[in-house]
A and B are shown apart, each in its own frame.
Chain A
């Protein structure tokens, strides 16, 4: 691989389940900048059945857009960069196109370890197909547990149970049940058993599982003590299993891997790397939150001072999993974000059609708002799953529905390609219900996976590309919260613009507004909340910089859904009003 200092250009390829993206980052006037991006349909399925074809299509387009030759005549990536300016020094590949690992989780009833395994699994590309727990030692339950594994035919069975030095017999009984279930499956289709329970039992577990079934004994108990949780080693094993089985199964990926200077990694993991990085700049006590709604997966990464918690739903995205979303989040909850009426059957038809034609984009405003309403509920669903983990990582904001974040980043076409910045901002505010004062950013160029993958090989390029506006700022958001009657003044706000001029605003409860602060304009923000109103412990005077929208003040209240009118017509009017307020 090229030395860090020698890297003048980076070609980053992200193979999604629907689209494949190619991004070019290069050293321009001594600093790394985003140069160009291109996108083409992913060619994972028949008749192509080879993702490398779609990658070539995307890179061909990138050549046209950037004017830089990147492919040889026989369709391979030119690397390193040649003297004539063709090629790229570094090539990195990420992918979210693989199937998730199908998991069965096994644990002891009444133990927290099962919840820990569930949280560990939620941070990986996996789908939990069944949960088996040890209810007793009776013959029937023993057989039923084994049969549930036979019925699901999972890729992996994750076993947890017992703190280190704790429960022995129940854990071993559980292992026996799992081994029995796995042995019922044809040898070529047997699941891998991942053991993350009482560490003292590892040798005995190995004996029980035997040699006919693959066993991974995780280095460390997922729940080593009652008050302790250690998800990292189990997540690392699940990530490795996903990479070695599902990711490597993708036809043509080996061709792309040969172009890459680093191992092919999952898009979610790369995305998480950048969220982690963003949590380490600025105020070390505040967190960074990233949300990526992809075609197949919805990913939320929350990081506090470098500690990252990823949550991935592999069965819920902007194109696939719509029916599951409607079933889990409820049709009415999706409909509540729409300023017009829609029949539930038409909503169901909409998500089915989208799944049949995942590449398509909304043709009119109505379709656009439906896609955004679905995205709101997909994010809300995953945030409900992720939130308990954030509380453990956050150093402040404890007790709040959502911890305090200093930066919130939206990614994925449905957010980052919203036709107006106000739509993207409103989608994120409605879905996440963040509080305090924070900056809202959009990954409009789809750089997060690229930068996350490049971060390992060349961290400087990542830092500089982000500094050079690789992520688009929508603006600073102020969310005052606390008990107040609608219309009551809860916050006095003054913007002092660099270069002169002031703007004073009295913020009333229940309002949503965008104040003028153009992109790049610097200003000082002074906030004076009324007694009992929380703005998240920020200083009374803070320097801010304008974004694509301006300065957003969201005083609608939290939880937001409590402030939505119950009457459907009034609610639709309210949603329309908020869209207008945000210029959406």
Chain B
């Protein structure tokens, strides 16, 4: 045991075959459209609800020029009454000035007797929740949603831009270190989730938009491309982050081995208070149901790790030693480091604990 004691780094998962379970829940109560055991496809609606519309506040007391506490006497509606635009909700006398009309289609949500106001909730709009993942409905939470499960490959990315998508996986780069080229995205990529090795430029993005791909996956992206990426009509997933970083070799290899398969991708990224990692899910048939490995592996010799920062960002290797004492790094800081064998030209290098993650 080193002087640093036990250190538990964060983890990124790149699993060729594992059980995948995803909750699909409505933001508010609604109706679930499928049953446990049903097979579902990514685009298939599994639940639906109605999203409440706006609330219109009608100050009846003020409009009728009466004391707020007396306004309710002139009301022609009750809480829950359906109204359409111009339905008379209150009247006093026979003149049109003595009539108060509903400003919208909806229903009377609340009558506030003390202030003489009527609140009208405007008609709702429907919201449909799709399965996102091809699999089997394993359970249903009545009125809220479902859990869908499948066996398959799971790859966690670093940064996503956009929402969810699905399509056939296509790889257009030969190596993980190759930047994407616009000419490789041709008409055969229509509707596909397209994978490149390292990064891509504006020409690639425009070509992908023109060919109507459904998603782009690359190692990284130059910061100057962020704005264009945010405006893309499909999600973009970066496995390493921003900059010019090649895709981690094991991720590229796994994606390449699944070319032609249907994949689901989610670019939703949240870094705290409900962590959400962008992900690539590739449903695969399997006779077994391998549960994902448990979390909480301490940094130890032999563990596979990825470098998160610095010139070797994105490189994956194995811990070969954990020096007992803090080591001086390029900044001059003395911190606990692990010796990592990155293979090839990089060989063995010292990386601060803080700049490593478990990669499995």
Contact = CB atoms under 8 A, between A and B. Distances in A.
Interface of A: 17, 38, 40-41, 43-48, 53, 57, 60-65, 99, 139, 142-143, 146-147, 150, 176, 180, 183-184, 208, 210, 296, 320, 343, 345-350, 352-353, 355-365, 367-368, 417, 419-420
Given A343-B223, A349-B242, 18 more contacts: A45-B274, A47-B11, A63-B5, A139-B62, A142-B57, A146-B57, A147-B54, A150-B55, A180-B119, A352-B159, A352-B226, A358-B271, A359-B9, A359-B10, A360-B308, A360-B355, A363-B352, A367-B309
Contacts of A346: 223-224
A204 to B, nearest CB: 11
A363 B9 contact: no
B110 interface: yes
Contact of A45 (B55, B272, B311): B272
B271 A355 contact: yes
Contacts of B259: none
B54 A361 contact: no
5 contacts: A61-B4, A349-B226, A352-B226, A357-B309, A363-B331
A352 B273 contact: no
Contacts of B112: 180, 183
Interface of B: 1, 3-11, 54-57, 59, 62-63, 109-110, 112, 114-115, 117, 119, 158-159, 222-224, 226, 241-243, 269, 271-275, 295-296, 308-311, 329-333, 335, 352, 354-355
Contact of B331 (A41, A349, A357, A362): A362
A361 B352 contact: yes
Return the 8 tightest CB-CB contacts between A and B, nearest first. Answer: A363-B310, A349-B223, A61-B5, A64-B5, A349-B242, A419-B332, A45-B275, A345-B223
B21 to A, nearest CB: 13
Contacts of A359: 9-10, 354
B242 A65 contact: no
B271 A60 contact: no
B20 to A, nearest CB: 14
A576 B298 CA distance: 41
A144 B160 CA distance: 35
B224 A61 contact: no
Nearest to A358: B271
A48 B115 contact: no
B311 to A, nearest CB: 7
Contact of B226 (A64, A348, A364): A348
Nearest to A584: B332
B242 A180 contact: no
A47 B295 contact: yes
A296 B335 contact: no
A364 B274 CA distance: 31
Contact of A356 (B11, B63, B241, B352): B241
A48 B115 CA distance: 49
Contacts of B310: 363-364, 367
